[in-house]
Amino acid sequence: MTEKIRIKDIAERAGVSVGTVDRVLHDRPNVSAPAREKVEKALEEMNYQPNMYASALAYNKSYTFYLFIPGHKEETYWEEIEEGAAKAVEYRRDFHIDMKIIYYERFNDASFRAKSEECLSQHPDGVVVVPAELEITRDFTTALHENNIPFIMLDSYMPELKPLSFYGQDSFSSGYFAAKVLMMKAFDQQEIMLMKQIKNGHVTSTQQANREVGFRNYMKKFFPQVKIIEVNLPLDCSKEEHSTILEDYFTHHPHTHHCITFNSKAYLVGEFLLQTHRNDIQIMGYDMVARNAESLRKGNISFLIAQHAYMQGYSCIDALFRVIVLKKKIQPVNYMPIELIMKENIDFYRRTQL
């Protein structure tokens, strides 16, 4: 067992006072350059490893981290993000960590600006940012930099904005992977349905758009003859309105036997197929939200790609904790694993590695 190094031992080795060593260790002022050099040399020679946890606890400071994400309904990827982030706060409760959530409206620049100003006015210690379009997000992140507020980027990676770190899937690779898996089953098909949830004419995240790029890249390269037919389900429509859209599609496309969506609501199609007794259609979607998992167990969904949303939320808050509280360095890019979940292995899937 490594012998504990005391401040007194360091002081004796450096030939300075205990108070000087304490000031150097805590990066306080009023230490001459020669004295600091002696202490740092002694620390290196003794291979001193500070107990960051003990120091942070002794400092007894409180911290508030903000989760800046789109507003959403239940049973979505974002709900899992929130749960993971809350777990990280609970796990670090001894360090006086708190978290607040600010929601902005997707594809509403005025909402993003207003909510980002609200976030800045609260003087957060750190922020987890789900970006909007690049330029409007840049205004927010520039202000964060100017105020020395560290931020982690989630969902979409924009390295030009210089986040402290990023957590999420490699969206292009994920979409490419999804196409490859799907076409192992649908290699002889003439058409595939692509279900999108849209708001104001846009899919509801940059991540989903990037997955589609990867998907189409694979399809163009290996299955250019397959027709990809888009079905748009407006985000704010009712279940009945969605059913009408889906009924119209499947009535007019009886040869569609495979569907894919890049969002967390594959169950919208799965539950419709169950209700209308269409058993010859397979669905591939994303995220282990409860209704997706239920549809997978019932056979309405054939495949789900897990992106560990819960772990993304947990990891973002934990990363802020390690940087801000423990003063540690973290990895700048953290891609989540791309995992394929089926009925046969769903009960062995773990959304958390804790």
pLDDT in tens, 198-226: 888 888 788 899 999 999 999 999 999 99
Q: For the structural domain made of 7-50, what CATH number should be given?
A: 1.10.260.40
Q: Judging by beta carbons within 10 Å of its beta carbon (0-12, 13-18, 19+), is residue 111 exposed, middle or buried? A: middle
| Percent of the chain at pLDDT exceeding 90 | 68
- Least confident range from 34-48, 52-66, 76-90: namely 52-66
Round the average pLDDT of the chain to a whole number and report it: 91
pLDDT in tens, 157-184: 999 999 999 999 999 999 999 999 999 9
- Whether 3 shows a pLDDT value over 80: the answer reads no
Q: What is the mean pLDDT of residues 310-319?
A: 95
Find all residues with CB under 8 Å of 65, minimum gap 6, and list them: 89, 97, 98, 99, 100, 124, 125, 126, 127, 128, 317, 320, 321
State the pLDDT at residue 135. 93
State the pLDDT at residue 131. 94
Q: C-alpha dihedral over 9, 15, 19, 23, to 10 degrees?
A: -90
Q: What is the mean pLDDT of residues 336-347?
A: 92
* Residue 176 phi, psi dihedral angles, 5° rounding: -65, -45
Distance, CA of 234 to CA of 187 (rounded, Å): 30
Tell which residue, 259, 257, 264, has the closest CA to residue 293. Answer: 264
Query: May I ask the CATH architecture of the domain 171-306?
Result: 3-Layer(aba) Sandwich (3.40)
State the pLDDT at residue 53. 57
What is the rounded radius of gyration, in angstroms, for the C-alpha atoms of the chain?
25
Do 256 and 229 contact (CB within 8 A), yes or no?
Answer: yes
Comparing 326 with 184, the larger pLDDT belongs to 184
State the pLDDT at residue 168. 93
Comparing 90 with 205, the larger pLDDT belongs to 90
- Whether 328 shows a pLDDT value over 90: the answer reads no
State the pLDDT at residue 102. 98
- What are the Cα distances from residue 82, in Å, to 72, 85, 89, 317, 319? 11, 5, 11, 10, 15
Q: What is the mean pLDDT of residues 287-292?
A: 90
State the pLDDT at residue 204. 78
State the pLDDT at residue 351. 63
Task: Please tell me whether residue 42 adopts helix, strand or coil conformation.
Answer: helix
- What are the Cα distances from residue 131, in Å, to 72, 198, 273? 15, 17, 34
- What are the Cα distances from residue 144, in Å, to 117, 133, 153, 307? 10, 17, 12, 28
Q: What is the mean pLDDT of residues 57-85?
A: 87
State the pLDDT at residue 141. 98
Amino acid at 248: D
Q: Which two tokens stand for residue 297?
A: 């167990």
Q: What is the mean pLDDT of residues 88-96?
A: 89
| Structural element, H or E, at residue 17 | none
State the pLDDT at residue 200. 82
Domain with CATH 3.40.50.2300 in the chain: 60-168+309-337, 171-306
- Whether 81 shows a pLDDT value over 50: the answer reads yes
Distance, CA of 103 to CA of 119 (rounded, Å): 10
Domain with CATH 1.10.260.40 in the chain: 7-50
State the pLDDT at residue 55. 60
Q: What is the mean pLDDT of residues 298-317?
A: 93
* Sheet of 97-104, strands arranged across: 97-104, 63-70, 126-129, 151-154, 165-168, 333-335
| Domain 60-168+309-337: homologous superfamily in CATH | Response regulator (3.40.50.2300)
pLDDT in tens, 227-273: 999 999 998 889 999 999 999 999 999 999 999 999 999 999 999 99
State the pLDDT at residue 354. 47
Q: What is the mean pLDDT of residues 97-105?
A: 96
- Whether 56 shows a pLDDT value over 90: the answer reads no
State the pLDDT at residue 54. 58
